[in-house]
Structure 1
């Protein structure tokens, strides 16, 4: 089947914490590109630490779409909303003559975008799926480390400012891992006086551990979904194994050279081939 008249789109997929945002920017700086966020929590404004939005300086000038576009923290951002926004962004990016790079971990939303006939996605776009994979035991250790770093970076203070006693954690940005887990801690913080300090410290430690456990569960769920897209729906994915990068990070060593060699270099080669560019260019 010829794809000569189709517009090209790159997808960067993977579990939470595998480096998708970094890879999207690294690729985006090598081609005239614009990035579309496909994380259903990062579409909401605010709580940048807990939602892991890529900071402006790390975007290196590559335009980003669908980041922090929803003001109402309780609004349900459904698959249809996502598909509509992505299709609008795709039209804008391709009209600019740029390569769209769709990146994020909400794989159910990606399935809706690609597979729902009403979107006519497959008839309009030629897709390249890059799957950034990391061995789960290694990824679990890294994700726990990342939660600790988020706490050190001000996560508790960020969530405290957004705390609502009667919050509904089943919708909107409040579904983000960290908000429901910390609810009981902030509730105790408001109710207990000084003689409850030891209890609150223990409670906070338990809440942070629950965040780590739930983040690991999310990663495992995302991996199962990726396997379903590949094996049951036939998505042809280019798997990049980034495990060695994270082993290097966990050992306390600098991993940039390892990243460049085993993740970035092959990814650039895949994109160049997809765009029918000379690999030497």
Structure 2
């Protein structure tokens, strides 16, 4: 979702090192802006895109080619094994060394409070011991419900990573996770003043119709550049599509087609081996552009599967753009982040470098210069979307909501509930129920635990 660029600066009132964060929805131009800012400031870029950190699939992840990086050093770009699960914690642990390296920040960064990396203040080690890895997929969640039902209601039963985190926290400290993340800890969580770095958030945004059109064009270009071949190279019939690079949009959508291709490939290999031909180990028979080969074949089924997969990639990417926009909004309403917006709508629609420089780069440069100035005050100079009267709502982490209209779907926390209420599916169900006269007396059941 975001590329993160760091700028060398000496702080004045705020002793925290300064970091400029370039954020925004997919296809808005984040990577391009980060590189363009390097012509104005001594910066290096730390990639924060959750898929671009992985090695391989350069086309799928839309990684910035080396020729477009203009000599600007990029960190965490294509450095992680595609089979690994690169979590937010792993990103933090990998990004901090880059931020505190001598050519980015001064030595004061090393004196930062390390409390954010360990257990909450006042927590001591406990002798409790619970197994966290087991045969049953529901065992961990059942154990967490026994230990801390309030925390269990906060997370999804299939979120095994978070379940293990909570159990491990209780094992180490003997304190219930729901108690740790209440009170002041919950109040400060995610607040800008509580962050390790002094951050300037710049969002590159564009109108939805323009982004939708650009996404479709970009997917078509990616297909021409060999996207299908990339996905085929990592395809595995028994792959886990919830981990690593395989969870990216543009992988699982092609599974029905690739299953067909794998069967054909295996058949051809067996035939050639039977006939005495030598097949190189690990070499696929699909050496050309796989998409063009499928389209030019007489296999109607494969052609249909290909076109359906391409359309799914486009649809899912458009949905991702909308989710990202909602996430950006929640960073303001839930956490009070001051996000400064630059509009790339005209630059994307007109494909004009002049429009890009005028409406994106120049405003961003002014924002960064003000951020790095002696007073470091931005609010009075540049407007944020909070200027429109956006109200910061109270965060609710531990209340469970049940939507009766959507088949008793469980939402955990006020932010999940509000996101669900605003979703297209929920609104369509409500409209349908109303038109049929079946609208329930209430669509929300609020369950609180203490």
- 1:182, distance to aligned residue in structure 2 (A): 0.8
Q: How far apart, CA to CA, are the structure 2 residues paired with 1:262 and 1:42?
A: 26
- 1:196, distance to aligned residue in structure 2 (A): 6.3
Residue aligned with 2:100, SS: helix
> What's the TM-score once normalised by structure 1's chain length?
0.83
1:47 aligns with 2:144: no
| Partners of 1:3 and 1:126 within 8 A in 2 | no
Select which of 346, 349, 353 maps to 1:247.
349
1:78 aligns with 2:175: no
1:208 aligns with 2:305: no
Alignment of 1:6-45 (within 5 A): 6-45=16-55
1:94 maps to which residue? 105
> What's the TM-score once normalised by structure 2's chain length?
0.53
| Partners of 1:25 and 1:62 within 8 A in 2 | yes
Q: How far apart, CA to CA, are the structure 2 residues paired with 1:189 and 1:35?
A: 39
Alignment of 1:37-186 (within 5 A): 37-71=47-81, 73-92=82-101, 93-95=104-106, 122=194, 124-186=196-258
Relative to total residues, which structure has the larger helix share, 1 or 2? 1
Q: How far apart, CA to CA, are the structure 2 residues paired with 1:84 and 1:125?
A: 14
Q: How far apart, CA to CA, are the structure 2 residues paired with 1:22 and 1:225?
A: 22
2:358 maps to which residue? 261
| Partners of 1:75 and 1:171 within 8 A in 2 | yes
Select which of 230, 253, 276 maps to 2:373.
276
Structure 2 unmatched ranges of 5 or more: 1-11, 109-187, 268-293, 375-450
2:177 maps to which residue? none
Aligned residues: CA RMSD: 2.2
Residue aligned with 2:240, SS: coil
Residue aligned with 1:202, SS: helix
Structure number with the bigger relative contact order (C-alpha 8 A, sep ≥ 6) is 1
Cα–Cα, structure 1 residues 214 and 124, in superposed 2: closer, same or farther, change >3 Å?
Answer: closer
Q: Alpha-carbon deviations, 1:161-205, whole Å to 9, x = none? A: 121111111110001111100111111123359986111111100
- 1:121, distance to aligned residue in structure 2 (A): 8.2
1:109 maps to which residue? none
| Partners of 1:6 and 1:123 within 8 A in 2 | no
Q: How far apart, CA to CA, are the structure 1 residues paired with 2:39 and 2:231?
A: 33
Cα–Cα, structure 1 residues 228 and 57, in superposed 2: closer, same or farther, change >3 Å?
Answer: same
Select which of 300, 320, 337 maps to 1:198.
300
| Partners of 1:174 and 1:180 within 8 A in 2 | yes
Q: Alpha-carbon deviations, 1:16-48, whole Å to 9, x = none? A: 110000000000222111101111111111111
- 1:124, distance to aligned residue in structure 2 (A): 4.4
Aligned residues: 251
- 1:141, distance to aligned residue in structure 2 (A): 1.0
| Partners of 1:42 and 1:53 within 8 A in 2 | yes
Larger Rg computed on CA atoms: 2
Q: How far apart, CA to CA, are the structure 2 residues paired with 1:144 and 1:135?
A: 15
| Partners of 1:230 and 1:237 within 8 A in 2 | yes
Residue aligned with 1:86, SS: helix
Q: How far apart, CA to CA, are the structure 1 residues paired with 2:354 and 2:194?
A: 36
Select which of 291, 299, 319 maps to 1:217.
319
Q: How far apart, CA to CA, are the structure 2 residues paired with 1:229 and 1:268?
A: 23
2:339 maps to which residue? 237
